[in-house]
Chain A
Amino acid sequence: MRPSSAGEGQALPGQPARPAASGALAAAGAYWRAVSAVLWKDLAAEFRSRELLSAMLVFSLLVVLIFNFALQLDRVARENVAAGVLWVTAVFSGTLGLNRSLSQEKDRGSLDGLLLAPVDRSALYFGKMLGNWLFMLVVQAIILPVFSVLYNLPMLLPLNLVVVLLGTLGYAGVGTLLASMAVHSRSRDVMLPILLLPVAVPVLVAAVQASGGLLEQRAWDEISQWFSLLIGYDVIFIAVAFMAFDYVLEE
């Protein structure tokens, strides 16, 4: 965490300052409180309005249904395309959520309120990213059983759930960064997918290959490389976003 992070608690008039225990611990505590505040705010607001989740969910269901009826596939062909359809659905609905998450802040003027807070801006990034990730996971938690029934495939395999966790984490990680870049653009609805999809290709390829391998019951040796790739990209994307977020938000 960078030195501009909030340090120990700020005293209000007539109140004692929070004792400066150990500097690093206090800074880490303040950093986590800022992350959790942003996450709590996004979850509480979404719980009340359900704007984001309902849009993502309806969109995902429609995509799954359209693919199901449009392709008219036999069992083998379904197994072959299922992982691709699953991740196309996750990516499109995720993009919808990422776009709204930041544009709502901008349109309602609350983005400035966040940026005025004396916290390391990476804390704002992690708060927003965790919120976006959770929203994607909630949608997947509903879509996967539907997908299993429609495609008659075991989408709820424990290892496939790990792929979903890792894939959506990477996508939300890089997506939150790029959504905060696109939010300043007038054509942000178009800009985000144009920026995001090429950058997220490695995550998507790895996720599709890992999910596909699991559904086809391939040996672990064949699919473990895709898990490694997913973990590697998640770490790299999130580290880059952590370092770049401050600059991305500058006007």
Chain B
Amino acid sequence: MSAPLLVFDDVTYSYPGVEEPALSDVAVEIQPGEFCLLAGLSGHGKSSFLRAACGLVPHFHGGRFAGRVTLAGLDTREHGPSRLGAYAGVLFQDPETQLVMSTVRAELALALESRGHGSTAVARGVEEVALALGIDALLDRSTHQLSGGEKQRVALGAALAGRPRLVLLDEPTSQLDPVAGDELIGLLRRLNQEWETTIVLAEHRLERCLAAADRVIALEHGRVGCDSDPQAFLAWAEKRAPALQTPAAKLFTHAGLHPAPAGVRQARKALRAHGLLTEEHGLPEIAGPAAPRRTRRRDRPKAALELRGAWHELRDGPAILRGVNLRVAPGESVALMGRNGAGKSTLLRHAAGLLQPTRGDVERAGRVALLLQNPGDYLIHEWVFEEAPPEALAAAGLAAMSQRNPRDLSGGERQRLALAIVSGSGEPPAVLALDEPTRGMDRAAKALLAEELRTRSAGGQAVIVATHDPEFAAACADRAVLMADGRVIADGTSAELLSGGWYFATETARILSGAGGALLPEEGAELLRRQAQQTRDGGAAAPEAEIAPGAAR
């Protein structure tokens, strides 16, 4: 066995001015060529782990550091991030702060030039990394003209330009749509398999990358809770950290099937082996929940929000919205989906009156509260009590925190505070619109937010959420609207829309081929149990699956 590439030797680290350690007694060895997934809830040490691996901790951040980290044999206490950068490329969450030059070519060349490579090596390095990542067509583009996905690829290219042996990635897909996210994970897989680049990837949506990983390190309160292969990790998560379970694993847990699968392909293979999935069509036709019948126009209640033929045309530029018709009834919850640049955010801005359509019109039954992508943009005061009225803080469960600085709140708390700010304390808004509210959120925080939105729509508020996360859309919305190129291209119940695709579908729906419109693991498990029951009642050969007694919920 070759020498480990990255070694954490009983590392304990605390940020300056913070008593509680971000990392506690972390002891890990990562071998060359491994694809390692870093799992854990927000604030449990994933980013600190990555920053310690590349030397930013302690050199850049300061703080108290005990133990030792060695990268390619270099002790990070003796060598700074600049020196270590020759061995480790780093990709952070926000692509905007990782592009420092004006053109893509200059961006890719910078790391090589900084390290004193000659002109031939720079030119060759830029060309090769651009070809490897499929960004050669972007080389002469300005960096501020790129889409989010393109920016993230270029930032990855800049990290890889020096051909580092290790790549550290901190939630690189959190700002990408499902297509761009899958492309990025595919790229990492290729880097790992074809060039044996060691990958350490911190990610909340484990279902995206678990199948590609050799190993999962789960951090709990800065300690290593689990360090094993994906299968063993899922078994550990089922018992110790259900919030880290993937939807596929949850589906199997709820259906009483074991072992939990690492991805869609493995899950389908297991279900086939258990006789619960036929070869050609997936699950046999089982009636799912009936789609709500469309009401006649004159029977429809007054809309909470209605866009009629709304266009948003830029002067000297393209049309961002193209004749959008959308009607949202009071108490309805709608998920707005589509790729980056499809027009979702613009539509929400029109709904809230921040923009006026260049053609068409928007009608609102009352106030539209809009929560934009970054809750931090709302927080301008020094105290929480200055940000929102006491009643709104109490309603958001933040009354006890009113004497704290908003910037000291956790991500979830900041979002609740921003929600309290836009909701206000008087008459509740007729419509609550949220733009990408789950960016960088862990599964537990997403579940809480979905519950909050369900409560609001049950109380009569129309809720409209732009999201890239099909699991969150399924959890919080009854209806889904798919946008592309400024148009609504599909509009139906969540069960219809999120069950029949590759990208805009939940993992449960992809495993079950959309059978019965089951989107969430609980619904899928119910479907599987009924299927197993039918098989037994029909006198067919008993499935090999062990459906655990009492597993039904």
The judgment on whether A and B are partners is: no
